[in-house]
Every structure is written in C-alpha cells, then in structure tokens.
Chain A
Amino acid sequence: MKKLDIRTLPELKTKVGAYGSVKQQEVGGVVCAGVFIIIAQS
C-alpha cells in the first residue's frame, strides 16, 4: 500500500485557518460565540 508524506502534498493557494483559530483573534477582531465587534486602530 502506497503512503504519502502529508508534508509533501500541495496546499491550496488560499490558506484558510480553522474556525476560531488564533489568526482570527490576533489582529484586533473579537470573535466569541458569535460576537463580532471591531475596534479602530488609533
């Protein structure tokens, strides 16, 4: 049975993080149980 190393398989050009991933939170947005309010950068 042939097995491939997942690290060698291509990724999509459009990277999509998992739901609720850190990426959503690190940039100023607030995401919690459907809460979605953004505060302006000063």
Chain B
Amino acid sequence: MIVGKALAGWLADEKEQARRTAETEDFARRFQAIPARAALEEGLRGAETGGADEILELARTFLEDDSGIRECVDEMIGAASRNPYFQPTLRTASTALHSGLLLYDGPRLTIMLAVMGPDAIAAKRVFRQGGASISFGGQKSLFRFLKAGGAVLSFWEAPDIGADFAGDATLRCRLTERRPIADGETLAIDGARQSFVIEHASSPLVYLQALTPLDAAPVMSEFDSITHAFAGASSTDDAGSRIGMMLSLLRVMDRKDAVPLFVEMLAAPHFYARWHAMREFLALDAQEALPHLRKMAEADPHQEVRAAASQTLRAFFPEQTAQQELAEQCPN
C-alpha cells in the first residue's frame, strides 16, 4: 500500500498521474500483442461459427503454452515494478477462496489465471454452515493446474442435462474417481455431466481456467453432497435471465405495447424461459396470450411446459377449451 508523502505527491501532480495512465495504456497494448494471446485472438476470429469444442481447442493451445503464459505474467510484473500505481487492465474475478485475473475476456471464451490458498479452502470446509452440494456448472471448461498445490480432487458424474431436462428427486450423481492432481495437468470438464470437488490442498493452487458459454446445458444443477440426490437447478443463460426479469417488469408496468416481445420470448431456447414468458404474458393480456397458450399445450418440445399449458387452459379457459375440442371432434 502506498501511503504518506509519496501518495500525497502523486495526488497533487497531474502530469505524473497522466504519465502513469499512459504507462498503463501501453501495458494494455503490449499485453494484447503478446504472441500467444494474439494467436488466440486470431484463432477465435477464424472460428466465428465454431462450437464449444472448437473454441476450447484454441484455448487449450494457449493454456499449454508455458512460455506464453509466463510472458503474460512477466508483462504484469514488469509494469508493476516500474509503476507503483499500476493496475492491470484486466477484469478481476475473485472470491473469498481465490484471486483471479481474466487473461482473455470475450463473449465466447474467458480465460482466468487464478490462485487459491489452502487456508481459504480449509476455512470454507470448517466454517460452512448447513448442507453442501455438488454442483454441475452446465458449461464446458478446461482447467490447467500450473501448481497443483498437493490437491486431491474427487470427480463426479451426473445424468446428462439436455434440453428435455426434468428435475427429479430420483436423479443421482455418482463419484467416479478420487486422486491427486499433478503440476501441469489439464482437465476437460463438461459441466452438463461432469464436476470435481477439491478435497484437500497443502499449498496454493495456481491454475488457468478456460470457459465457454457455447453449447451449454440449459441449467446448472446441484446434488446433495450426502445423499447425492438432485437438489436444484438454476439457469446457465445470463442474458436470458435478464430478459425474463425485463418481461416481469413490463408486465408490472402494464406495457401492452410490448406484447410482440412476449410473443418472441415464447420461442426461447430454454423450457423454463418459455414458460416464464407465457405466465407473464397471461398476466399481461390473457386473450392475446390464449392462442399461443393453445399452441404451447400442443406442441412445446418440453413435457412439463405442455403439461403446465394444458393445466392452465383447463383451469382458466374451460369454455373456450371445450368449444375448441368440440370443433376439432366435429369439424363439419
């Protein structure tokens, strides 16, 4: 921490501040030009329509390029040693457990360099209150442990989570392996069905994680760590969840001019997003929603959505539903 006269002098010297800012901007340019990182960018540009596997193969080349990673770190250390006010122009991703910097931060891929201390891991275990779960993130990722920290990992598998996923208390995850990991080891994790738990570490773990939202499962799932039974799910779709909240707001604001947006969201890729849109639509304007509700009851690809739509038709539109059924039975 910089305190006292040095900080006071810096705060009073605008030219010095501008010079340090320019140095930080220079860092950003040099960092982006590091050959390993530039090659990754170029690869991503050439794979604009690529899926998760293709993107993660590009990431693997970067993760396993020790000299490239060292160049990234050296660039930051050099900048910090020249400029005590230097802050990396990289997004941080830190929690109580780890400190991380995003070496690459794009919509299709993030690559984080992180360190996790054994003390934080032990504290998490000792001071946890309540139950714990084994979580499956839904997204595909690669981990490369630069320093494995003497860590022992347990590996878990869950039933594959696809577009037709239905949360069911009979679903179980299972332990597949428990073993130490080695310095330099790379793990590919498909979060739709694979996960791992850090059981123990004796020294800090330093690792890289590449993560892509492409081809993700519709939900992140959690299983009870004792019974291994399915415990809950949440969305893997950040933008979709925000849009869902916006629909709720539009409904509360009684914005009937937004009906086309509600109709559009009825075709959302995830089953829970489609039903959320329909509930909000029905609460906004039930008559406008009715033909879409009928269509959903007949043809939505997800069984639970069809069932909920049919239940809604019977409960809230019994006459129209009866008339429709009669007309279908007696077309003439």
Contact = CB atoms under 8 A, between A and B. Distances in A.
Interface stretch (B16-24, B37-45, B79-87, B109-117): B109-117
Contacts of A10: 308, 311-312, 315
B323 interface: no
A27 B114 contact: no
Contact of B135 (A3, A32, A38): A38
B283 interface: yes
Interface residues of A, number: 38
Contacts of A39: 97, 121, 124-125, 197-198
B200 interface: yes
A15 B233 CA distance: 7
Contacts of B94: 32
Interface string B125-163: 110101111110101010000000000001000000000
A40 B154 contact: yes
5 contacts: A3-B286, A10-B311, A23-B234, A27-B133, A35-B209
A23 to B, nearest CB: 5
B98 A15 contact: no
Given A35-B112, A41-B125, A13 B135 contact: no
Contact of B198 (A11, A14, A40): A40
Given A23-B232, A35-B209, A28 B245 contact: no
Interface residues of B, number: 78
Interface in A14-37: 14-21, 23-24, 26-37
A13 to B, nearest CB: 5
B311 A14 contact: no
B93 A32 contact: yes
Nearest to A34: B211
Contact of A40 (B116, B200, B244, B312): B200
Nearest to A2: B286
Contacts of A2: 285-287
A12 B219 CA distance: 14
A27 B135 CA distance: 9
Given A20-B238, A40-B199, A33 B93 contact: yes
A36 B316 contact: no
A27 B222 contact: yes
Contacts of A4: 282-283, 286, 316
B236 interface: yes
Contacts of B280: 6
Contact of A38 (B198, B283, B311): B198
B219 A34 contact: no
Given A12-B305, A13-B167, A35-B98, A19 B283 contact: no
Interface stretch (B3-11, B67-75, B271-279): B271-279
B231 A27 contact: yes
A16 B139 CA distance: 16
Nearest to B189: A36
A16 B126 CA distance: 29
A1 B195 contact: no
Given A14-B304, A16-B218, 14 more contacts: A4-B286, A12-B272, A12-B308, A19-B234, A19-B241, A20-B238, A24-B234, A27-B132, A29-B133, A31-B137, A33-B102, A35-B112, A38-B195, A39-B125
A27 B168 CA distance: 18
